[in-house]
Amino acid sequence: MSSREATYQDRVTSLEEFAPHFNWKELGASDHSVQFYEDNSHLINSLKAYVSTGLKANENIIFIATPEHLFDLEKQLEKEFDISKLKSQGNYIALDAAETLSKFMVEGSVNSELFAQSLGELVKNTILTNRPLRAFGEMVALLWAEGNFDAAINLEKIWNDLRKKYDFSLLCAYPLNSFSGESKVNSFLHICEEHSHVIPAESYISKSSRDERLRSISALQQKAISLEAEIAEKNRLELNLLEQQAKLNLATMRTTQLQEAVDDLKAFSYGISHDMRAPLRCIQQYSSLLIEEFGKEMNSKKLELISQITSSSRNLDKLIQDILSYSAISHQDIKIRPVNLNKLVNDLVQQYQDFQIPNAKISINNPLLPVMGNEDALTRCLQNLLANAVKFMPPGVKPEVKVWTELLDKNVRLWIEDNGIGIFPKHLERVWRIFERVYPQKTYPGTGIGLSIVRKAIERMGGSVGVESEFNKGSKFWLEIPGVA
């Protein structure tokens, strides 16, 4: 026989040893076995085999289980044995698992002394009858179900210590589903380590032929490998998620810090702008006082210088007011309500002489459509647009301004058309930016903030702005916001 054939022969022979069925008669006198089970009926069949094998061999039985399991087992045993008689002779001792457990559990831990005084004594006394002892205990499974894993493993160890003192066989049982989940893998191995025999659950045991059992082992191995791969993938994704979460937290933290810095800066600049107005008012008042008190004694040069001071401080005051308005329109809460645009524009024209004949002719194409917006912000916008429309005029030309609205789908577009100097195409975009002005202060006074206030306010109302213009051909400014449904 070649060495190759000999190896094959060895393998075939050893195959016979593979995947044996568990035989209760093979249990050693001092074995500590664990039975895993999927279904209660399988556990009861197993227990019946375990206990009846012992009873037939004239062994004593200590059976510690839940009331349900006790009831089901005894119903089975009664078909073959006189249970009452066996109980009265002390050959079959049945105990309630929870009640027995309560005798030696102290604050969630097993007290070994109390265990020795209760169960230890019972085992000792039963052994003294000179019959072999077979015990079944389900207390560990109760502790496990409660999530008290340490106590369950400790109780297994205490049973093992007792078995070192006295020879008896012990069987424990756990429902397999109490070990589901990746986190239970190690504790499952730990429980197995505490036992001399591990009896698999019925999905393996129930296979009748050796071949079926080998197939079931192969299927389990395949399942284990794919689960391990899935777990590795899950862990990788979890790690990835944690990294992303950490980055997000960092970004959120930085955004909060940045927002705080911006808020501080806003409060600071608002405060400064506000405080600068008081000394400015002083300058204006003292300039007026100077002229009132000493104007008659001053020559025209001095009077001119003082009026320069007054107008510069007035300009600066206007600039500060506009900055404050821009800041307010950018950050204040803007409540949107239906606004009667027709009344708003007519009131504005009535209010300012610059908008009235003979200074200007403003024709309103009544009635202007109502809109959804903020009345104060809209007043501010229209005041700026009308002021610009009458301001940017060629010398000697009387402002003629037309105002009308049109409905565009659900929005209302309001137009303000003037006959002014118009805007070069290259400036059409930049006029909306803050502090951008096309002409020097002397030619057309202003701060360069008005249109940026308009744009910011309209955008905050969910709308948009625009302008159509050509140099020397007047301008058509428009704003568009939702209409009243």
Residues binding ligand ADP (CB under 6 A): 384, 388-389, 392, 418, 420-421, 423, 431, 436-439, 446-452, 475
Count of C-beta atoms within a 10 Å radius of residue 64: 24
Q: Smallest distance, Å, CB 362 to ligand ADP? A: 13
Q: CA 70 to CA 98: how far, in whole Å?
A: 12
Of 14, 66, 20, which is closest to residue 43 (Cα–Cα)? 66
Nearer to ligand ADP, 271 or 425 (CB): 425
Nearer to ligand ADP, 256 or 356 (CB): 356
Q: Which three-class secondary structure state does DSSP give residue 135?
A: strand
Query: Cα-flanking dihedrals φ and ψ of residue 172, to 5°?
Result: -115, 160
Q: CA 369 to CA 185: how far, in whole Å?
A: 73
Q: Smallest distance, Å, CB 427 to ligand ADP? A: 7
Residue with the shortest CB distance to ligand ADP? 446
Q: CA 286 to CA 326: how far, in whole Å?
A: 29
Nearer to ligand ADP, 175 or 445 (CB): 445
Q: Which three-class secondary structure state does DSSP give residue 105?
A: strand
Query: Cα-flanking dihedrals φ and ψ of residue 96, to 5°?
Result: -80, 125
CA dist list (Å): 179 to 44, 144, 219, 404: 20, 9, 19, 77
Residue 111 is given by DSSP the state -
Of 366, 337, 335, 334, which is closest to residue 349 (Cα–Cα)? 366
Nearer to ligand ADP, 54 or 420 (CB): 420
Residue 370 contacts residue 341 (beta carbons within 8 Å): yes
Nearer to ligand ADP, 54 or 463 (CB): 463
Nearer to ligand ADP, 140 or 416 (CB): 416
Q: Smallest distance, Å, CB 424 to ligand ADP? A: 10
Nearer to ligand ADP, 27 or 401 (CB): 401
Nearer to ligand ADP, 51 or 323 (CB): 323
Of 132, 134, 146, 139, which is closest to residue 118 (Cα–Cα)? 139
Bridge-partner residues for 476, per DSSP?
Answer: 417, 468
Nearer to ligand ADP, 169 or 447 (CB): 447
Q: Smallest distance, Å, CB 449 to ligand ADP? A: 6
Q: Smallest distance, Å, CB 354 to ligand ADP? A: 13
Q: Smallest distance, Å, CB 338 to ligand ADP? A: 27
Q: CA 286 to CA 314: how far, in whole Å?
A: 13
CA dist list (Å): 379 to 268, 320, 325: 27, 19, 12
Q: Smallest distance, Å, CB 254 to ligand ADP? A: 34
Of 104, 101, 196, 180, which is closest to residue 143 (Cα–Cα)? 101
Residue 370 is given by DSSP the state P
Count of C-beta atoms within a 10 Å radius of residue 306: 17
Nearer to ligand ADP, 95 or 386 (CB): 386
Provide the total of helices (H) and of strands (E) in the chain, helices listed first.
16, 15
Q: What is the DSSP string of 373-406?
A: E-HHHHHHHHHHHHHHHHHS--TTPPPEEEEEEE
Q: Smallest distance, Å, CB 437 to ligand ADP? A: 4
Q: Smallest distance, Å, CB 436 to ligand ADP? A: 6
Of 206, 190, 189, 179, which is closest to residue 151 (Cα–Cα)? 190
Q: Smallest distance, Å, CB 403 to ligand ADP? A: 13
Nearer to ligand ADP, 120 or 446 (CB): 446
Q: Smallest distance, Å, CB 366 to ligand ADP? A: 22
Q: CA 356 to CA 303: how far, in whole Å?
A: 32
